[in-house]
């Protein structure tokens, strides 16, 4: 699968999203359908996609007429771009800077689904373009890389000059599963491997590739911690979520969402690696307490590549006190868990610590906010903020609900 890249003579370093005025440009334009501003009625706008930025403080909404950026705390629309040329099925932010990756989507979009446009919002124009022979399934950004995911291949480019650095073969990956680390001292990529249930881990800084047999069935969802040292995965069965050490592939913990098959929409790890959130088509957001700890305060920020992950974990659920801080609780288990190894594995499972119930008909993605809160965005144009008790768990409390856009067709 070949790719074609066109670019301006130089790609400027990213800046924070601030003023929306375009500074004078001396660069030659890229050959691409330049967007024309259009004013549309929200009643006519269809929501095509939602995606968090890298620190979950903002999210991007791709619509049938452009895209919009929303801040989570406090909730507000930061800006929007309404275009006459159609909409975008993929809108990927780079933290809060002026650079975004856009892929066309929707019924009448003039932007093809096999092209990635690197958009500079300060210049209000495309500064680079990648063309492929098949549809783009996902785009992921970090401060030094652009990653384009096709159904069976992943391309990794340098952000500053758009040069191709790596090509990775994968199993069929129609969801575009791929995630990146975002610490400056680690460069980690996780994606499906070449076998069912396998995850491929690329430690680019170490020039090490690791394969993890995470599940028996196909991978449905995966995520990394910001430093890339922990991986959380779920399969198409959707009953279990597993947490792995990405350096050696060790399975550190396993939690159970439920007994029935479910489609997992999102997995999120809290910044302090203390909590895990899972959303699915069952309409419940599950919060789990993690037994994995990074040793020392901000230990990951002081590690070098050669040291490996400074983590501790405990397999025995009977001795969690050393790993769980006093102000947090543990996941509930079956009353028959003391018969582990005798009864089927189901009876020794760790179940969710806290829950929040939502309509089953909508796809939701969840992430962690500040002060034991969870933020949730739905494809029906809804935004929720809810809080959980870090000691007792149980049903979460809704703190905020906003309808930022009317529902599209999903």
| 309 within a domain of the structure (yes/no) | no
Q: How confident is the model at residue 45 (pLDDT cuts 50, 70, 90)?
A: confident
| 310 within a domain of the structure (yes/no) | no
Question: Given this model, what pLDDT does residue 8 score?
Answer: 44
Question: Given this model, what pLDDT does residue 48 score?
Answer: 93
| 307 within a domain of the structure (yes/no) | no
Task: Output the CA torsion 38→377→405→127 (10° steps).
Answer: 0
Please give the mean pLDDT across all residues of the chain: 80
**Strand ranges inside 342-396, DSSP E:** 354-357, 364-368, 373-378, 382-387, 394-395
For 306, phi then psi, to 5°, come to: -75, -15
224 CB contacts (<8 Å, ≥6 apart)? 179, 180, 181, 188, 190, 230, 231, 232, 246, 269
> In this structure, what token pair is assigned to residue 43?
């009643």
**Same domain, yes or no: 217 and 270:** yes
| 312 within a domain of the structure (yes/no) | no
Percentages helix, strand, coil for the chain (3-state, rounded to 5) are 5, 45, 50
**Strand ranges inside 8-98, DSSP E:** 47-52, 58-63, 66-72, 75-82, 87-93
User: What are the tens digits of pLDDT across the range 157-170?
Assistant: 999 899 999 999 99
Q: Compute CA distances 216 → 35, 202, 211, 372, whole Å.
A: 45, 21, 14, 33
Q: What's the number of domains the chain is made of?
A: 2
| 196 within a domain of the structure (yes/no) | yes
Question: Given this model, what pLDDT does residue 3 score?
Answer: 63
Among 169, 200, 227, give the residue marking a domain's end.
169
Most confident range, picked from 29-38, 253-262, 325-334: 253-262
Domain of 96, in residue numbers: 1-20+34-169
**Same domain, yes or no: 55 and 183:** no
Among 114, 140, 169, give the residue marking a domain's end.
169
User: What are the tens digits of pLDDT across the range 198-223?
Assistant: 999 999 999 999 999 999 999 999 99
| 252 within a domain of the structure (yes/no) | yes
Q: Compute CA distances 394 → 127, 288, 357, whole Å.
A: 48, 11, 11
- Please count the residues of the chain: 410
Question: Given this model, what pLDDT does residue 9 score?
Answer: 33
**Same domain, yes or no: 78 and 203:** no
Comparison of pLDDT for 325 and 227, the residue scoring more: 227
Question: Given this model, what pLDDT does residue 110 score?
Answer: 83
For 182, phi then psi, to 5°, come to: -135, 10
Return the residue matching tokens 């969710």.
352
User: What percentage of the chain has pLDDT greater than the value 70?
Assistant: 74
**Same domain, yes or no: 159 and 196:** no
* Residues 131, 3 contacting (CB under 8 angstroms): yes
**Same domain, yes or no: 97 and 215:** no
| 25 within a domain of the structure (yes/no) | no
User: What are the tens digits of pLDDT across the range 63-109?
Assistant: 998 999 999 999 999 989 888 778 899 999 999 988 999 999 887 77
Read off the pLDDT of each residue in 355-381 and give the average, rounded to a whole number: 94
Comparison of pLDDT for 340 and 72, the residue scoring more: 72
**Same domain, yes or no: 276 and 164:** no
For 346, phi then psi, to 5°, come to: -50, -35
Spell out the SS3 assignment of 311-353.
EECCCCCCCCCCCCCCCCCCCCECCCHHHECCECHHHHCECCC
| 314 within a domain of the structure (yes/no) | no
For residue 42, the SS3 value is: helix
For residue 259, the SS3 value is: coil
User: Measured in Å, how far apart are the chain's first and last C-alpha atoms?
Assistant: 30
**Same domain, yes or no: 181 and 275:** yes
Q: How confident is the model at residue 325 (pLDDT cuts 50, 70, 90)?
A: very low
CATH of the domain at 159: 2.130.10.10
Among 152, 169, 186, give the residue marking a domain's end.
169
């Amino acid at each position: 699968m070949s790719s074609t890249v066109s670019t301006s003579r130089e790609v400027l370093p990213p800046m924070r999203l601030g003023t929306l005025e375009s500074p004078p440009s001396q660069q030659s334009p890229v050959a691409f359908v330049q967007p024309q501003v259009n004013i549309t009625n929200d009643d006519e706008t269809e929501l095509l996609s939602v995606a968090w930025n890298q620190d979950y403080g903002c999210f991007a909404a791709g619509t049938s007429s452009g895209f919009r950026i929303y801040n989570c705390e406090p909730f507000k629309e930061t800006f929007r771009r309404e275009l006459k040329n159609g909409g975008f099925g993929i809108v990927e932010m780079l933290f809060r800077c002026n650079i975004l990756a856009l892929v066309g989507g929707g019924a009448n979009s003039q932007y093809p689904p096999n092209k990635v446009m690197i958009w500079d919002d300060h210049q209000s124009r495309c500064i680079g373009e990648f063309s492929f022979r098949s549809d783009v399934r996902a785009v992921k950004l970090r401060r030094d890389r652009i990653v384009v995911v096709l159904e069976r291949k992943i391309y990794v480019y340098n952000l500053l000059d758009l040069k191709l650095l790596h090509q990775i073969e994968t199993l069929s990956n129609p969801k575009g599963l791929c995630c990146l680390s975002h610490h400056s001292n680690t460069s980690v990529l996780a994606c499906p491997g070449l076998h069912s249930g396998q995850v491929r881990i690329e430690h680019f800084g170490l020039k090490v590739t690791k394969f993890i047999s995470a599940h028996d069935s196909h991978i449905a969802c995966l995520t990394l911690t910001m430093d890339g040292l922990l991986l959380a995965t779920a399969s198409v069965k959707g009953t279990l979520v597993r947490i792995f050490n990405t350096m050696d592939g060790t399975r550190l913990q396993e939690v159970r969402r439920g007994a029935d098959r479910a489609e997992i929409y999102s997995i999120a790890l809290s910044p302090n690696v203390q909590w895990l959130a899972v959303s699915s088509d069952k309409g419940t957001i599950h919060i789990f307490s993690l037994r994995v700890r990074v040793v020392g305060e901000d230990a990951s920020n002081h590690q070098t590549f050669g040291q490996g992950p400074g983590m501790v974990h405990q397999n025995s659920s009977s001795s969690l006190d050393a790993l769980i801080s006093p102000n947090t609780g543990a996941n509930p288990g079956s009353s028959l868990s003391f018969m582990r190894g005798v009864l089927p594995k189901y009876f020794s499972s760790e179940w969710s610590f806290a829950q929040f119930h939502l309509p089953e008909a909508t796809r939701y993605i969840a992430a962690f906010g500040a002060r034991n809160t969870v933020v949730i965005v739905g494809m029906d144009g809804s935004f929720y903020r809810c809080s959980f008790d870090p000691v007792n768990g149980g049903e979460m409390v809704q703190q905020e609900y906003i309808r930022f856009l009317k529902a599209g067709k999903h």
